[in-house]
Amino acid sequence: MTHVYGVVPSRRLGRSLGVSTIPFKTCNYSCIYCQLGRTTNMTNTRTSFYPPGEIINQVRDFVNEKGDESFDVVTVVGEGEPTLYRPLDQLAEAIRKLTFKPLVLITNGSLLFDEDLRDEISGFDIVMPTLDAYDQESFRCINRPLGKLEYEEVYEGLVDFSRKFDGELWLEVMLVKGYNDDEESLMLLKERISRVKTERVYINVPARPPAEDGVKIPDIATLKLARELLGATSIENMPVSNFLSRESDAESTVIEIIKRHPMSQEDIESLLRSRFGPGSAEVFFEKLSSRGDVERCEYVGKIFYRYRSIL
């Protein structure tokens, strides 16, 4: 299992070295817009999916080989909900000894009411939770959480955590056309966000192929209104391609990235040609036809490739 992937270009963080803590599509949400597809392992139980030392050793190997000048941040993220992993504090403490770069956690924010989790992530520099919904109904429609999760408990956990966390909290709102982008929904989101102590608010859109058909990007006028109402920065544009990997062959290089981060055909071609030379991209795409765990998607006028689990 490869736990370290990238470096991946991020619209918010620059060059992000990803650290994955959980198995593919292990989450307590199954968001309609998820770029990795539907959740296949729904759980709300926090556990040690992998030994901390296994993950830490891979971070150490990357830093020793590439140097920490190759990335801007270390991001604990992955292919599901990373806060389902424990102990996150052991990972944070060990990574701090390997690099001085900021340590970031990207989370759906669902478990921030858990005091044990709060203690474990108190050492992160930046925590980036998501708030797409404004009530129980919108929560069920957009995020499709595990049955026992209730919107008010999740929301109040976010509010309380934001006021006690010593690092920076950057909030992200994923806007989906027809679900939470009308003016009434935006005003309700504004009211919810007003209670959260956050340094930044970002508006995101489903820029990569979503889990469900019919998920669409709001129009430009709607995004402009959302920015004004929420006091947010919009990050709907795709980041400039600037991927980096330490995998030794073209196939592994791409697969380990698209497990967590679907890539456009153009990005794959650029990465492989820069890393393995002319002709490597053509050979890779020929191999894809024999793989059952890679899905080719057409979305917003582009061709994307993403990983899918084979059950």
Helices then strands (H, E): number in the chain?
A: 10, 13
* Backbone torsion region of residue 109, taken as left when φ is above 0, otherwise alpha when ψ lies between -120 and 50, otherwise beta: left
Q: What is the rounded CA–CA span in Å between residue 24 and residue 306?
A: 12
pLDDT reported for residue 240: 46
pLDDT band at 238 (very low <50, low <70, confident <90, very high): very low
E strands, 11-131, where? 14-20, 26-27, 41-42, 73-77, 103-106, 126-128
* Least confident span in 83-97, 161-175, 178-192, 223-237: 223-237
- Residues 127-162 have pLDDT tens digits of 999 999 999 999 999 999 998 899 999 999 999 999
Q: Please give the full DSSP string across 130-185, using - where no structure is assigned.
A: B---SSHHHHHHHT---TT--HHHHHHHHHHHHHH-SSEEEEEEE--TTTT-SHHH
Is 294 within 8 Å of 288 (Cβ atoms)? yes
Q: Which two tokens stand for residue 33?
A: 């817009």
pLDDT band at 305 (very low <50, low <70, confident <90, very high): confident
4-246: what fold? TIM Barrel (3.20.20)
pLDDT band at 298 (very low <50, low <70, confident <90, very high): confident
* Least confident span in 64-78, 83-97, 248-262: 248-262
Domain range list for the chain: 4-246, 264-311
* Least confident span in 23-27, 175-179, 257-261: 257-261
Is 43 within 8 Å of 146 (Cβ atoms)? yes
pLDDT band at 83 (very low <50, low <70, confident <90, very high): very high
